Amino acid sequence: MESGSPPGRLALVTGAAHGIGAAVARELAERGVALALVDRDGEALDVAVKQLRDEGHDVCGEPLDVTDGFAVEEFVERLERTVGPVDILVNVAGVLRTGPVVEMSDSDWETLFAVNTTGVFHCCRSVGRRMSARGDGAVVTVASNAAAVPRMNMAAYGASKAASVSFTKALGLELAATGVRCNVVAPGSTDTGMLRSMWHSDDDRVGTLDGSPCAYRVGIPLRKLGQGSDIAHAVAFLVSSEASHITMQELCVDGGAALGA
C-alpha cells in the first residue's frame, strides 16, 4: 500500500479484480476518486491496479479476504493511517454456489454467507465506525435481484444477498444521524464471469433473455444482458453528492427482470 493520495475522496472497493467490482473501480477512478482496491485474487488485482495506474489514476491495492474480520480491521486501520480516511465503501466481493437446497452441502452454504453476508458486515463495521466518527460517508452494497425474487437452484445465494440487503438498510438507519448514507444496488443477469459460469451452451444465454417457464422465471424485458458499467453507474450515483438525500434504498438494475419487485 502506498501513501500520498491527494486531498479528495477515497473509495474502498472489495471484489475489485473482476467483473462488477472492476467496473465500479474504473467508473469511480474516471470520476476522480482515489481508490483502495481489495480482492482475494491477488494476481488479478495486481493487473487491475497496474492498468488503472498506467492510465494516471490514483490507486492502491492489496489482497484481502473479507471473511477474516481481523484482517479487514487491520487493513482499514493501516489504510486510513497511511493513505487517508475512507469516504466511500463499495461492497462487491461475492461468490456464487447453485443447486437444489436438498442437495446443497454445508460447505457451500457457509461459504456463501461467509463472503456475501459476513464479509459485508466486517467491512461495514470497520469502515462505518470511522465514517460515523467523522460524520460523513457513503456505503453501497452490491447485492442481487435474487434477494427479492425466488430463483430455483439459487436459494442459498438469494438468502445470503437478502441478508446483506437487510443489514445494509439497518446500518443506514443506525448511522443516519451521523451523516453516513447506506444504500444497495441489486443487479440482475450481468455479463460477468460469474454469470457465464452458469451457462453450459448458447441456449443458456438465450434462456437468460427469454426466461424459462419450467423454472418460473421471466426473461429480461429490455432484451439485453446488463454490463458491469450499468451497475457501476448506479453505484457512482449513490455515492455522489447528487444522492445526498438518499439512504436505506435499494436500486434494482436488471433490465426489468424482477418486474419491479
User: How far from the centroid of its chain's Cα atoms is residue 181's Cα?
Assistant: 16
> Is residue 210 packed enough to be buried (19+ CB in 10 Å), middle (13-18) or exposed (0-12)?
middle
What is the full DSSP assignment across 149-188? S--TT-HHHHHHHHHHHHHHHHHHHHHGGGTEEEEEEEE-
Please state, in angstroms and rounded to a whole number, the distance separating the CA atoms of residues 83 and 77: 10
H helices within the chain, ranges in order? 19-30, 42-54, 69-82, 106-113, 119-134, 155-175, 193-196, 202-210, 228-238
| Count helices and strands in the chain by DSSP H and E runs | 9, 9
Q: What 8-state DSSP symbol labels residue 8?
A: S
157 assigned to active site: yes
- Retrieve residue 116's grid coordinates: 456475501
Please state, in angstroms and rounded to a whole number, the distance separating the CA atoms of residues 59 and 25: 9
| Residue in 75, 113, 121, 157 annotated catalytic | 157
Question: Residue 218: beta bridge partners?
Answer: 211
DSSP 3-state assignment of 62?
strand
Is residue 209 within 8 Å of residue 38, measured between CB atoms?
Answer: no
Please state, in angstroms and rounded to a whole number, the distance separating the CA atoms of residues 47 and 18: 10
Please state, in angstroms and rounded to a whole number, the distance separating the CA atoms of residues 183 and 180: 10
Residues with a catalytic annotation lie at: 157
